[in-house]
């Protein structure tokens, strides 16, 4: 388990660290032939895309999971949702890209970060939904009983007690989904498209780290290959940083001796 991870990391640092400098984080890409240039726009672009994706994927996924575990148990609707989530989980990301392309990009007549975010968000839903469901089902029956015995209505007991008790697991699920889509390239090719200029307007084509890495790595230029390595390193470090940050923030409220 650890060996491949370490190998990837060491190789990335070996290849990528040499081209990492302040420019990489502060400058936009420059045309071929010019030296220097960075991926500032792609870093910000990735952040925006993932933000939009999480805004869609996390709430929809969590509500779906709550429904599956607490309200829809055994109902046909729940079976249908569970089946859909599993199928959605298996949809290849390139197919997701094309689907969003025809549903949003074509009617809009231009590429946009928004459509890319939607594609990423939909890809997050199944993971978030199923982990939420499983974490909720792991909450002991005694805890639910305790809440109901206090005369708390069922919906309130679910939201305030069961979901809260399962929240560490639910957050892990969200982080897994987040980390997974953070590196997705395929669904962005037809949606966010990529952009060599700086933009934060979600209605325009936008650069993203995985896209930039893809383009640079396929190019015939040595300078760009180096930047692609650096981009890969930054992408991984940023994912780890984002996940750790969320874990740190959410763990501050945990009490001594809480299980």
Partner 1 sequence: MHETVPEAHATGRVRIGDLDVYNGTSAVAIRRRIGMVFQKPNPFPTMSIYDNVAAGLKLNGFREHKRLDDIVERSLKLSALWDEVKDNLKKKSGASLSGGQQQRLCIARALAVQPEVLLMDEPCSALDPISTGKIEELIFQLKESFTIVIVTHNMQQASRVAEFTGFFLLGELIEFDKTERIFTTPSDKRTEDYITGRFG
Helix (H, G, I), strand (E, B) or coil at 206: strand
User: How far is CA 75 from its chain centroid?
Assistant: 30
Q: Minimal distance in Å, beta carbon 175 to partner 1?
A: 18
Residue 92 or 140 with smaller CB distance to partner 1: 140
Residue 51 or 169 with smaller CB distance to partner 1: 169
Footprint of partner 1 on this chain (CB under 8 A)? 140, 142-143, 145-153, 156-157, 160-161, 164-165, 167, 254-259
User: How far is CA 253 from its chain centroid?
Assistant: 24
Residue 127 or 162 with smaller CB distance to partner 1: 162
Q: Minimal distance in Å, beta carbon 65 to partner 1?
A: 18
Centre a 10 Å sphere on the Cβ of residue 43 and count the other Cβ atoms it contains: 20
Q: Minimal distance in Å, beta carbon 85 to partner 1?
A: 26
- State the Cα–Cα distance between residues 121 and 53, nearest whole angstrom: 4
Structure tokens at 54: 């999480």
Residue 95 or 160 with smaller CB distance to partner 1: 160
Q: Minimal distance in Å, beta carbon 249 to partner 1?
A: 16
Using a 10 angstrom Cβ sphere, with 0-12 exposed, 13-18 middle and 19 or more buried, the burial of residue 245 is: exposed
């Amino acid at each position: 388990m650890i060996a491949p991870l370490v190998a990837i990391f060491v190789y990335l640092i070996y290849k990528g660290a040499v081209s990492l400098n302040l420019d990489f984080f502060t400058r936009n890409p420059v045309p071929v032939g010019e030296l220097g240039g960075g991926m500032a726009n792609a870093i910000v672009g990735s952040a925006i895309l993932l933000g939009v994706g999480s805004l869609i994927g996390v709430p929809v996924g969590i509500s779906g999971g709550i429904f599956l575990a607490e309200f829809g148990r055994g109902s046909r609707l729940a079976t249908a949702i569970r089946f859909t989530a599993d199928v959605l989980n298996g949809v290849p990301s390139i197919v997701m890209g094309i689907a969003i392309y025809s549903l949003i990009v074509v009617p809009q007549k231009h590429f946009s970060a928004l459509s890319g975010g939607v594609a990423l968000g939909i890809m997050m839903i199944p993971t978030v939904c199923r982990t939420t469901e499983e974490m909720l089902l792991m909450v002991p029956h005694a805890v639910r009983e305790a809440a109901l015995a206090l005369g708390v209505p069922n919906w309130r007991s679910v939201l305030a007690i069961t979901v809260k008790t399962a929240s560490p697991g639910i957050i892990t699920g969200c982080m897994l989904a987040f980390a997974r889509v953070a590196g997705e390239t395929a669904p962005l090719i037809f949606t966010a498209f990529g952009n060599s200029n700086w933009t934060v307007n979600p209605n325009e084509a936008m650069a993203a780290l995985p896209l930039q890495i893809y383009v640079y790595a396929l190019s015939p230029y040595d300078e760009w290959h180096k930047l692609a390595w650096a981009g890969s390193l930054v992408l991984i470090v940023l994912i780890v940083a984002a996940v750790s940050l969320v874990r740190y923030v959410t763990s501050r409220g945990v009490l001594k001796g809480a299980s």
